[in-house]
């Protein structure tokens, strides 16, 4: 047995060394001169970003279950990347950031990615300038941006140059915001500028076992004395619920594939529509499953108060049931998603009664506002589905600013210029109805199911509509208790027991009488009749015809819509 320690290597001992000849095929061989030396030097420079990295650095990335930037690019597309701005200085200035143009599904996309195998993907002045140039070019050419972030932050030996680099990139990305959309993938451990920059993008996708945040756990420990893990401080569970991350996934490959899928639903820039995708799913397909869902829900013991998951309705309406949800871990009482209807991309903004009766809280209002503003900027039509009992009341919501959050939601809906349709599924009460894309706030069309309950208030409204009857019922309770007690005592019951029994009987009577008033209120006022009479609702749609009616009306509105950048007055609050 050999006593010599064998060191593992990725090099194939049988692989012949690569020799690059800088001669024209068939050319008579001559002695190499300065020209061949220059060609060799140029070839080495071209290969330097990929081949100058030590195998040990690549192994470290793989050991952490991370890919290199070049491997990530190959997941995005099988086409050869067009790498731009190859400014590799003697100290590898700029080499820790790769920038280029990719062809993804036939579309030009500006892409950047930190190369963690070079100086931990850190940022210096050269990087910042290179990244800013990429952003400005994307804005000028009208192409979307995908970012692959995996950086330790500013390169400390570069001094203030690293901070200037970040500032230059911040500024450029902000200036193209609203001109071209951007998708940011978070890999590895990112702090400080490495978090600010990608969050300026349109969407952030974060896999498991990654971190990004203002500061890392070490700084939190030294400043606040608090022990906290990266997952607890800035992992996908934290950012998914806060809305900092729009989509959370299992790993890097899932993040990159989700980025490509999301890209298929958004346009290249603010002057065009999102890509049309022909479909063989008939527009007049009957949506029987929606009918089955509502029938099972509303014929249950809890009747029209039964919650149901609106995502099933979205699925049945979309082409082949395919859609992509945004911020699925945040404020589940509302669902925001992109789907296709008859091949056209459409945004869905839907109350979800399966969670908290679909009530709109602070997080839900802000989630809606952000989604609607994106659709407004990038010419995406929106279908609203309403089923909410109103804004969530309470001290906690008021202290968090529900008034301001609700105002942000209302502002985004009033400002929306793209085609938009409101479908009332069931409940549409109070201020939530008044601020949720009805005709007064600018809807192009308002439709309702026969199950619609449109009113100022829910069942509690009987207190105001039938106040005389309610007062009469409650005033009669004392008399019924007195009479019932006397009758029971006369029949031989003890005084205390007789009173208790009479009070129970009177309470049951009052409850039954108020239930009858509730039914009367629902029958007379909690229905679509008044809305139809006043023109607040255009027409009633059967659940089985939803895809056909929504699709045909959407096609009509899109035929008369001209995509263009936003213009006119810019509102104060965004």
What is the per-residue burial (b if ≥16 Cβ within 10 Å, else e) of 398-437? eeeebeebbebbbbbbebbebbbbbbbbbbbbbebbebbb
DSSP three-state, residue 425: strand
Instruction: Look at residues 322, 373, 371, 312 and name the one whose alpha carbon lies nearest to residue 345.
Output: 322
CA torsion, ordered 153, 155, 158, 161, to nearest 10 deg: -20
What are the angstrom distances between the C-alpha of 488 and each of 39, 234, 272, 502, 551?
A: 112, 68, 80, 8, 67
Structural contact between residues 283 and 545, judged by C-beta atoms closer than 8 angstroms: no
Predicted confidence at residue 6, as pLDDT, reads: 67
Q: How far apart are CA 66 and CA 58, in angstroms?
A: 9
Nearest to 10 by CA among 48, 56, 60: 56
User: With contact defined as beta carbons under 8 Å apart, do 314 and 547 qualify?
Assistant: no
> Could you count the other beta carbons within 10 Å of the beta carbon of residue 258?
19
Q: Please give the Cα distance from 500 to 257 (Å, whole number).
A: 68
Find the length of the chain.
574
DSSP string, 355-372: TGGG-B-HHHHHHHHHHH
Both tokens assigned to 520: 């009367």
Q: What pLDDT tens digit does each residue of the chain (574 aa) get? A: 556 666 666 667 776 666 667 667 766 667 778 888 888 888 877 777 667 677 888 888 888 889 989 899 999 999 888 887 765 555 555 678 889 999 999 999 999 998 888 887 778 888 888 899 999 999 999 999 999 999 877 777 777 877 888 899 999 999 999 999 999 999 988 888 888 899 999 999 999 999 998 888 888 888 888 888 889 898 999 999 999 999 999 999 999 999 999 999 999 999 999 999 999 999 999 999 999 999 999 999 988 889 999 999 999 999 999 999 999 999 999 999 999 999 999 999 999 999 998 999 999 999 999 999 999 999 999 999 999 988 998 999 999 999 999 999 999 999 999 999 999 999 888 778 888 999 999 999 999 999 998 876 656 656 666 677 778 887 888 888 888 888 888 888 888 888 888 888 888 888 887 777 777 777 666 778 888 888 889 999 999 999 999 999 999 999 999 999 988 777 776 5
pTM for this predicted structure = 0.86
CB-CB contact of 200 with 170 (8 Å): yes
Q: How far apart are CA 471 and CA 420, in angstroms?
A: 44
Structure-block tokens of residue 88? 């590799």
What DSSP state is assigned to residue 303? G
State the pLDDT at residue 460.
62
Alpha carbons 327 and 335: distance in angstroms, whole number: 8
Residue 108's beta-bridge partner residues?
103
In this prediction, residue 574 carries a pLDDT of 55
**The two structure tokens encoding residue 78:** 């099988």
């Amino acid at each position: 047995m050999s006593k010599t320690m064998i060191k593992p290597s990725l090099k194939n001992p049988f692989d012949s060394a690569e020799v690059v000849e800088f001669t024209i095929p068939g050319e008579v061989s001559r002695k190499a001169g300065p020209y061949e030396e220059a060609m060799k030097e140029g070839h080495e420079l071209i290969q330097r970003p990929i081949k100058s990295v030590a195998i040990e650095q690549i192994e470290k990335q793989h050991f952490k279950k991370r890919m290199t930037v070049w491997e990530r690019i190959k997941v995005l597309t099988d086409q050869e990347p067009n790498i731009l701005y190859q400014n590799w200085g003697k100290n590898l200035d700029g080499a820790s950031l790769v920038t280029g143009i990719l062809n993804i599904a036939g579309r030009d996309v500006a892409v950047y990615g930190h190369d963690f195998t070079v100086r931990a993907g850190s940022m210096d002045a050269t990087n910042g300038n290179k990244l800013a140039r990429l952003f400005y070019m994307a804005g000028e050419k009208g192409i979307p941006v995908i970012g692959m972030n995996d950086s330790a932050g500013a390169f400390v030996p570069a001094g203030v140059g690293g901070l200037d680099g970040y500032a230059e990139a911040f500024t450029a990305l902000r200036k193209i915001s609203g001109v071209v959309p951007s998708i940011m993938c978070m890999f590895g451990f990112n702090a400080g500028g490495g978090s600010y920059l990608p969050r300026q993008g349109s969407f952030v996708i974060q896999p498991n076992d990654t971190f990004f945040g203002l500061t890392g756990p070490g700084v939190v420990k030294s400043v606040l004395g608090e022990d906290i893990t990266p997952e607890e401080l800035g992992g996908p569970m934290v950012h998914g619920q806060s809305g900092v991350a729009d989509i959370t996934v299992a790993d890097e490959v899932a993040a990159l594939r989700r980025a490509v899928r999301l890209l298929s639903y958004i346009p290249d820039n603010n002057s065009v529509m999102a890509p049309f995708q022909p479909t063989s799913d008939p527009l007049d397909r009957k949506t029987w499953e929606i009918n089955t869902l509502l029938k099972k829900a509303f014929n249950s013991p809890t009747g029209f108060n039964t919650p149901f998951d609106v995502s099933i309705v979205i699925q049945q309406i979309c082409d082949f049931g395919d859609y992509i949800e945004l911020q699925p871990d945040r404020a589940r009482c509302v669902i925001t998603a992109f789907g296709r209807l008859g091949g056209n991309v459409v945004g869905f903004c839907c109350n979800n009664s399966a969670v908290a009766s679909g009530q709109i809280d602070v997080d839900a209002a802000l989630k809606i506002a952000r989604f609607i503003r994106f659709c407004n900027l990038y010419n995406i039509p929106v279908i609203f589905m309403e089923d909410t009992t109103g804004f969530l009341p309470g001290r906690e919501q008021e202290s968090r600013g529900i008034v301001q959050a609700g105002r942000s939601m209302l502002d985004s809906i009033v400002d929306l210029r793209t085609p938009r349709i409101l479908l009332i599924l069931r409940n549409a009460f109070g201020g939530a109805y008044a601020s949720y894309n009805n005709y007064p706030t600018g809807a192009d069309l308002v439709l309702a199911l026969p199950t619609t309950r449109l009113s100022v208030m829910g069942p509690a409204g009987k207190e105001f509509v039938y106040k005389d009857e309610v007062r009469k019922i409650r005033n009669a309770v004392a008399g019924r208790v007195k009479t019932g007690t006397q009758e029971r005592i006369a029949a031989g019951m003890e005084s205390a027991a007789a009173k208790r029994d009479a009070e129970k009987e009177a309470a049951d009577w009052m409850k039954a009488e108020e239930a009858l008033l509730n039914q009367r209120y629902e029958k007379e006022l909690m229905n679509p009749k008044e809305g139809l009479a006043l023109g607040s609702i255009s027409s009633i749609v059967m659940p089985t015809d939803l895809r056909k009616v929504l699709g045909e009306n959407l096609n009509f509105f899109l035929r008369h819509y001209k995509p263009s950048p936003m213009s006119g007055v810019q509102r104060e609050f965004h």
